[in-house]
Amino acid sequence: MNPQDSQIHFCAIVVSVIRRKVPFPPVAHDRPPPGEQLNLTGEVTTPRQAATVIVLRGGAANLEVLLVRRTPHARFMGGVWVFPGGAVDAGEGEGDAAHRVAAVRELREEAGIAIEDPGSLVKFSRWITPAEVVVRYDTHFFLAALPGDQDARIDGEEVVDYGWFAPAAALAASQRGEIELVFPTIKHLEQLAGFASADALLDHAREREVGPVQPRVIRDGERARIVLPGEPGYDG
């Protein structure tokens, strides 16, 4: 696993076609967030296939999700808190089966959590990085309940910390500057915060289809603004 390629889901700046309970406000940056450098060449990069797992615990009682922290020494997304995930390897095939195999592998490698059946993962969203960004991924997000009595185990090198967060608590910690999150992680946490329990979230996700929506990055002078479908400026 290439540590510069593996943790890529957080630079895929898109939103799924989930019926959202939380609005997605436009986000503006004085400079691109880590790992989201704008493409100034005019040549659009083909997105690399990737997968990630949002691990849930709490059952019918509540909802917590697993976030892991990349080492601050990483050249790519150093110090950022993310959901475990990474790129699909060439030998893992193509299509949905390959995304599931990659998701399970990355979860085991980065968080020490073993899921025996990739088919048990519940598809949640598909995020595609805007054409305006250099490094692009077509990332498939899956949900999984924490198996049995397992807990995360990190290697202390590529991943240096982990935590179980209620989605709203993770967002609040980010706003206080206690953890660093990037746009796609924030938007997923906003969606997850609308559910009272892990079971309710899984039930919801099993009953709907997931399709991709690709946002745009619009430059306004020295600032870059992320615009999602339906927002002013998206079709301009």
Domains annotated on the chain, with CATH: 3-227 (3.90.79.10)
For residue 40, name the pLDDT band (cuts at 50, 70, 90).
Answer: low
180 has a pLDDT exceeding 90: yes
Task: Tell whether the model's pLDDT for residue 1 goes beyond 50.
Answer: no
CA nearest 188: which of 14, 3, 7, 35? 14
- Of the given ranges (16-30, 83-97, 131-145), which has the lowest mean pLDDT? 16-30
- pLDDT for res 36: 53
**Of 13-27, 78-92, 185-199, minimum mean pLDDT range:** 13-27
In this prediction, residue 39 has a pLDDT band, given cuts at 50, 70 and 90, of low
Q: What is the largest CA-CA distance in the chain?
A: 52
Mean pLDDT, residues 68-74 taken together: 91
Q: Return mean pLDDT, the chain.
A: 82
Instruction: Please name every residue paired with 218 in a beta bridge, in sequence order, or none if there are none.
Output: 225
Q: Tell me which residue of 3, 19, 131, 147 sits closest to 70, measured CA to CA.
A: 3
Least confident of 33-42, 71-80, 151-160, 183-192: 33-42
Nearest CA among 1, 10, 8 for reference residue 188: 10
Average pLDDT, stretch 128-147?
89
Selection from 144, 191, 165, 190 nearest residue 69 by Cα: 165
| Averaged pLDDT, 11-28 | 34
Cα distance between residue 82 and residue 7, in whole Å: 8
**Between residues 87 and 23, the one the model is more confident about:** 87
Mean pLDDT of 210-216: 81
What is the reported pTM? 0.81
Integer angstrom CA distances of residue 99 from 22, 31, 56, 68 = 27, 31, 19, 20
Q: Is the pLDDT of residue 195 over 80?
A: yes
More confident residue, 193 or 78: 193
Q: For residue 131, what pLDDT is reported?
A: 80
Q: How far apart are alpha carbons 206 and 222 in whole angstroms?
A: 42
Please state, as a whole number, how many other Cβ atoms lie within 10 Å of the Cβ of residue 193.
Answer: 18
User: Does the pLDDT at position 213 exceed 80?
Assistant: no
pLDDT of res. 216: 79
pLDDT at 45 (0 to 100) = 81
Higher pLDDT, 57 or 233: 57
